[in-house]
């Protein structure tokens, strides 16, 4: 904006029609400075476009790496979930086995207590051997519902059949049932107790698998945290790139405003050139009128010198007319001199304007080159999705 103000301070000189040599040199120096500044801005713009392209490539690479890491993390998560499900299934199986083990241990204790009671107290002598045997076996094998519903006759028949079938083979057992020996209580307490021991290798394997799973989970958690930090850094870099892009757009808009102001200045200078052409045509007309007045003045002088003395009144009137004509001639000469000076000033202004127009053509060429580079950068930037749509016209062509 300050450049436009510096250019505008030369406008009164153009309007007055006179521009000093010092002002012309200042205008020329300002034009050269503007050229250098435009060249520097063009270089800065090219550098910004290159940096933006590099930042976009880096952002693409980081995004691709982040996506790949996220895919790896998702695969590891699936493996961990499958391992976790297997671990849960193994834990459920271990719990079921422990419950079954506890039930078997309780049944073992109950059987041991019943056996001790039977050995200490002995069977009832009033019962038959088959009844005693059935009573002992009933503690181990429970009768089914069909056996409980049998009648007394069927039960006695079964007892007789069992007694006859086992008479030859289990004679010794029946004798023992009829007269069991008395066992001391101290020896009964020394009877071995049956325990179901859990398989050690399976539990060790499950524990090792759990430890390995916990280590894998810890490692995946650290990897996930590191990936989150990298993603956060990538977002920060992306925000910085967007800020740089926005700054570049603002600079391009400022350049565009400056170009529009220079075009307005060019139009004003063109109007002043048209006014100078009109002044030139008016100067030609005044010169022609001056020549006509000079010819008429010479004719009047010749006529006045050739008139006889008798016509003094007419001579006097002619003299007065001559004086008026001389006054008009002097005024015309003054106007012609003034117009000649203005014409010379206009010529100098036209020469300076030709220099300014040449400089303007050079600036316009530079701006078109910058416009092409900006359009190329915009086409290169079209592949990346921006979060904000900056609807700005960055073209330098109309």
Domain enclosing residue 195, as ranges: 77-213
Residue 13 lies in a domain: no
Q: Give pTM, 2 decimals.
A: 0.26
- Residue 183: its pLDDT value, please? 44
The single residue listed with the structure tokens 């280590």 is: 215
Residue 197 CA from chain centroid, whole number? 62
Structure confidence at residue 173 (pLDDT)? 41
In a domain, 375, yes or no: no
Q: How confident is the prediction along the chain (398 residues), in pLDDT tens digits per residue?
A: 454 444 444 444 444 545 567 777 877 787 777 777 777 777 877 787 787 778 777 777 777 777 676 666 556 656 656 666 666 676 677 777 778 777 877 777 777 777 777 666 544 444 454 555 555 445 444 444 444 444 445 445 555 555 544 444 444 444 434 444 444 444 444 444 444 444 445 667 777 777 887 788 788 888 888 888 888 888 888 888 888 888 888 888 888 888 888 888 888 888 888 888 888 888 888 888 888 888 888 888 777 676 555 566 777 787 888 888 888 888 888 888 888 888 888 888 888 888 888 888 888 888 888 888 888 877 776 654 444 444 444 443 43
Encoded tokens for 184: 């001391």
CA distances from 357 to 263, 268, 364 (A): 11, 12, 10
DSSP notation for 195-230: --PPPHHHHHHHHHHHHHHHHHHHHHHHHHHHHHHH
The reported pLDDT for the residue numbered 384 is 45
In a domain, residue 303? The reply is no
| Structure tokens, 44 | 């800065």
* Residue at 204 is within a domain: yes
Write down the pLDDT at residue 90: 67
In this prediction, residue 382 carries a pLDDT of: 61
**What's the confidence (pLDDT) of residue 118?**
65
87: buried, middle or exposed (CB in 10 Å: 19+, 13-18, 0-12)?
A: middle
CA distances from 228 to 132, 238, 386 (A): 78, 15, 21
CB atoms within 10 A of CB 225: 10
d(CA 349, CA 11): 12
Q: What are 391's two structure tokens?
A: 């609807």
83 occurs within a structural domain? yes
Distance CA 259, CA 265 (A): 10
Residue 325 inside a domain? The answer is no
User: How many independent structural domains does the chain possess?
Assistant: 1
- Whether residue 246 lies inside any domain: the answer is no
Residue 165 lies in a domain: yes
Euclidean distance between CA atoms 362 and 63, whole angstroms: 43
């Amino acid at each position: 904006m300050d450049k436009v103000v510096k250019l505008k301070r030369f406008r009164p000189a153009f309007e007055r029609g006179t521009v000093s040599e010092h002002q012309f040199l200042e205008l020329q120096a300002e034009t050269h400075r503007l050229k250098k500044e435009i060249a520097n801005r063009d270089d800065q713009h090219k550098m910004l476009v290159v940096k933006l392209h590099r930042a976009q490539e880096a952002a693409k690479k980081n995004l691709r790496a982040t996506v790949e890491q996220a895919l790896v993390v998702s695969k590891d998560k699936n493996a961990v979930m499958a391992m976790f499900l297997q671990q849960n299934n193994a834990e459920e199986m271990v719990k079921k086995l422990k419950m079954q083990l506890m039930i078997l241990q309780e049944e073992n204790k109950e059987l041991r207590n019943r056996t001790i009671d039977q050995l200490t107290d002995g069977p009832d002598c009033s019962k038959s051997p088959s009844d005693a045997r059935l009573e002992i076996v009933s503690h181990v094998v429970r009768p089914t519902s069909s056996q409980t519903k049998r009648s007394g006759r069927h039960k006695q028949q079964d007892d007789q059949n069992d007694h006859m079938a086992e008479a030859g083979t289990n004679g010794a057992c029946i004798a023992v049932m009829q007269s069991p020996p008395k066992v001391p209580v101290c020896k009964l307490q020394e009877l071995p107790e049956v325990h179901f021991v859990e398989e050690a290798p399976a539990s060790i394997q499950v524990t090792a698998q759990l430890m390995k799973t916990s280590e894998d989970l810890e490692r995946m958690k650290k990897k996930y945290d590191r990936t989150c930090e990298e993603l956060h850094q990538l977002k920060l870099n992306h925000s910085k790139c967007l800020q740089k892009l926005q700054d570049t757009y603002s600079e391009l808009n400022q350049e565009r405003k400056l170009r529009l102001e220079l075009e307005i200045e060019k139009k004003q200078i063109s109007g002043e050139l048209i006014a100078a052409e009109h002044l030139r045509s008016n100067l030609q007309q005044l010169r022609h009128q001056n020549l006509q007045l000079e010819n008429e003045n010479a004719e009047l002088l010749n006529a006045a010198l050739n008139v006889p003395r008798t016509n003094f009144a007419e001579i006097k009137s002619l003299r007065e007319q001559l004086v008026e004509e001389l006054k008009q001639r002097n005024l015309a000469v003054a106007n012609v001199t003034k117009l000649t000076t203005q014409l010379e000033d206009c010529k100098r202004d036209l020469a300076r304007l030709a220099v300014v127009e040449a400089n303007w053509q050079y600036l316009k060429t530079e701006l078109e080159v910058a416009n092409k580079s900006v359009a190329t950068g915009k086409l290169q930037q079209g592949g990346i999705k921006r979060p904000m749509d900056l609807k700005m016209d960055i073209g330098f062509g109309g």
